[in-house]
Structure 1
C-alpha cells in the first residue's frame, strides 16, 4: 500500500520563506517567471531525496548557500531548510503520518567536505487517537525510534551528518511505519526532463519488458506503450488522447521482439510509419507526457514541471484532459506558465488552480494563509 500526501510545507528554501499547502487530488500552479513555482516543485523533489538518502548530495550540488532563504531571518536564528509532508491512507483525509527534516550548515571545525549540508533534525510522527506518537526522532547524531512492538529504542546506526535516517533504514520489518513512508516517497515521480533532442531517450527503442510506469527521463516509453497494447490490451484512452491531439493520426505499437518501439501514422501518409527518431519535438513530448499520465500503473504522486514546453498552444486542451483523467487515478502536482493549460484543466472541474506570486522576495499563493488553509474554506 502507498500513502496519499495531504499537506506539504517548506521553510527557508530559496524563495520559500515559509509556506504550508493542503494537497488535493490535482493542484495546478500558474504564475509569471521568477515567482517561485519551480521552487515549490523542487522542494517536493527534495523530500523524495530524503527517502533516497540523496538529500545532502542534492543540496550540495545545488549549492547550499544558493538554496538557503536569502531574506531576513527573525530572532537571529541560524539558517535552516525545513521540509515536511503529511500522509494518510488513500481513503482517509486525516493525516496518519508526518515526516519532517531540517538541514543546515555544518558547525565550524567539523569533519565535513566544504559547505556540506548537515541534517540537523528529522522525525516521523504517527497520529492515532488523541495523542500523536513519535515513531522516529533524530537530533544530530542521536536517533531513537519505536520498533514493531511500540517500544522506543535507541538506534545504533552508522550515519553521516549528510545522511537521513529515512534513507538509511536497514531493518524495515522492525520499523514498519518508517518503511511505509519511505516506500511511498520513493514511488513519487517527477517529470521535468523529457528531452526531445536527437539523443533523447524518448527516441530510442528500449528493452522489451513489461513496464507499468514511465521512468523520470522517459527512457522506457516504448515499453510503457507496449505494455498497454500487448499485455493490458487496452489502448482506448491512449488512442483517444493521441487522436484528440493529432486529428487523423494513430499511434502504432508493434509487437516487441528484443526491443520495444513505437511510431506514428498520419492520415496524409497512410503507407508510411514515422518512427520516434523522426517525430517533431512537440509530438514526441506529448507522447512522453501520455506515457507519464496514462501508463498501466501510475505512481501515488506525479509532479509535472512546465509540461507545455515545446508544445503547440493547440495541444493545451488535449493535455489538460489527459491531466484531469490521470487525477482520477493518482495525485497530480503541475507547475505551468501557460494560462491556456490552466484554463483547460479548470474547465474539466478536476482540480484546484492556484496563482503563485512573489511578495517582498517570498513566494506566496493567492488565498493561502500561514496556517495552510485557504481563505473562505470551512
Structure 2
C-alpha cells in the first residue's frame, strides 16, 4: 500500500506531501489542483512504462507543466504588503515526483536539458536523479539504488555500493533500464507493481462510445481505460470473479435491474433488463449515467484486483441517487485494492469519508495548491 505521495514543481503544485490510506478521497473546488494531483500519479506510473517523457511532451513539454509561480512566496507577499513577483532563482528548475509504500519508496527528479547542438529534441526534459529505498523516507542508510546523471549505483548482497550502469541516457529511467533480477531485484519488483496500477478517467459514455457497440470478446480480467471491452470484461467477471457481487452492485443502484452479456453474430454485447420492461435494453440505449455506473462496477469488481486503482471524477454524469451506491461499491472494492478517488462531488466525498476513507481537501492559495489540515509525512528528495 502507498502511504505517501510527494509532488514538487508540477503545475499548481509547488510542493505537496500527502498521506494515503487504503481508501483516500481527494476533493476541493474547481481549479484547486485535483487534476494536477491525478496527473502526477499517472506520470509516476508512466515512469515504469518508459513513457514519462512522452507524456510530458503531450502536455506541452516540461516548461508548460512546471510550477508557474515564484520560487518562494514570502510572508509579506501572503499578507499583501508586497506584490507577488519572482526573484533570482536559487534552485534548479525541477519537476519531482515520488511515493513511499509500506516496503519501498521511489522518487524521480526531471529538469531542463543542457543545450546540445544538432538535436531536434532540445525541449525534452531530462531525468536528473532517481532513488529507490526501503522504508518511509529516503536516507543514506536505507537507499537501495540511486541514479545521478548517467550513473546508477546499487548495493550487492553484502550491502556494498556497486555500479549498475554508467551510461544511462537522460531520457531513460533506471526503472526500465537498470532493473535486473540479480543485481537489482527490488527495482524490478517495484517496476512491475507500478505497471499494474490502474487509472480510470476516460470511461466513455457518449453516443459513439465503444462500450455501446457489440465487439469481439476474449477473456478480459481488467477493464481497459476507455471501457471499450466492457462486454468481455463482464463475461470474464461472471466466469472467474464475483458475479453475485456484481449483480448486487447493479441491484443496489437500479432496483429490479440486471446486466448480462449476449452473443450477437459472434460479437459480445451488453444488455440491461430493467423492472417493468418486456425486453432488455442494449448498451446503445442506456443513459450516460447508467452506462458509467455499469463501467465503474465492472472496473471495481475486477477478478484480478490491482495493488492501486485511481478514479478521476467517477461521479461524472451520474444522477445524485447513484452517488451512495457508488460509494458503497468503492468501499467494497477497497478491501482488495488500495483506491484513490479524485472528486469534485462533495456528496461522494462525504459518503466515502463516512465509510472510513482518508479525506484530502485541496485549496488554492496565491495560485498554489495546498492541503487542508493534514500533517505532511516525513519526506526527502534525492539529490542531483
Which TM bucket (shorter chain)?
Answer: 0.7 to 0.9
- The structure-2 alpha-carbon separation of the partners of 1:162 and 1:131, relative to structure 1 and needing over 3 Å to count, comes to closer
SS in 2 for 1:181: helix
SS in 2 for 1:76: coil
Q: What does the per-residue CA deviation read over 1:258-286, in whole Å, with 9 as the maximum and x for residues that have no partner?
A: 5433210111213x121222221111111
SS in 2 for 1:260: strand
2:328 counterpart residue number = 321
Which among 235, 244, 250 is matched to residue 236 of structure 1?
Answer: 244
Distance in 2 of aligned mates of 1:149 and 1:257? 62
Q: Is the 8 A contact 1:125 1:132 kept in 2?
A: no
Matched, 1:19 2:16: yes
2:41 counterpart residue number = 44
2:83 counterpart residue number = none
1:92 counterpart residue number = none
Which among 162, 171, 175 is matched to residue 180 of structure 2?
Answer: 171
- Higher mean alpha-carbon deviation, 201-210 vs 160-169, is at 201-210
1:144 counterpart residue number = 153
Q: What does the per-residue CA deviation read over 1:272-301, in whole Å, with 9 as the maximum and x for residues that have no partner?
A: 121222221111111111111111121110
Deviation at 1:372?
5.6
Distance in 1 of aligned mates of 2:3 and 2:135? 13
Which among 331, 336, 355 is matched to residue 338 of structure 2?
Answer: 331
1:122 counterpart residue number = 130
Distance in 2 of aligned mates of 1:51 and 1:265? 42
Q: Is the 8 A contact 1:106 1:112 kept in 2?
A: no
- Higher mean alpha-carbon deviation, 74-83 vs 7-16, is at 74-83
Matched, 1:77 2:86: no
Gaps of 5+ in 1: 89-95, 374-378
Distance in 1 of aligned mates of 2:34 and 2:26? 7
Distance in 1 of aligned mates of 2:20 and 2:297? 23
- The structure-2 alpha-carbon separation of the partners of 1:355 and 1:12, relative to structure 1 and needing over 3 Å to count, comes to same
1:67 counterpart residue number = 65
Q: TM-score, normalised by structure 1?
A: 0.88
Q: What does the per-residue CA deviation read over 1:37-85, in whole Å, with 9 as the maximum and x for residues that have no partner?
A: 1111111111101111111111121121221011111452121011111
- The structure-2 alpha-carbon separation of the partners of 1:235 and 1:161, relative to structure 1 and needing over 3 Å to count, comes to same
Distance in 1 of aligned mates of 2:203 and 2:70? 37
Which among 185, 189, 193 is matched to residue 184 of structure 1?
Answer: 193
Distance in 1 of aligned mates of 2:157 and 2:228? 39
Deviation at 1:230?
2.8
Q: What does the per-residue CA deviation read over 1:291-341, in whole Å, with 9 as the maximum and x for residues that have no partner?
A: 111111211101111111111111111111111111111111111111111
Deviation at 1:113?
0.7
- The structure-2 alpha-carbon separation of the partners of 1:344 and 1:156, relative to structure 1 and needing over 3 Å to count, comes to closer
Gaps of 5+ in 2: 73-88, 380-384
Deviation at 1:30?
1.5
Distance in 2 of aligned mates of 1:151 and 1:25? 35
Distance in 2 of aligned mates of 1:280 and 1:180? 42
Distance in 2 of aligned mates of 1:187 and 1:170? 16
- Higher mean alpha-carbon deviation, 71-80 vs 235-244, is at 71-80
Distance in 2 of aligned mates of 1:157 and 1:207? 47
Q: Is the 8 A contact 1:276 1:284 kept in 2?
A: yes
Matched, 1:7 2:4: yes
2:315 counterpart residue number = 308
Q: TM-score, normalised by structure 2?
A: 0.87
Distance in 2 of aligned mates of 1:171 and 1:221? 36
1:252 counterpart residue number = 260
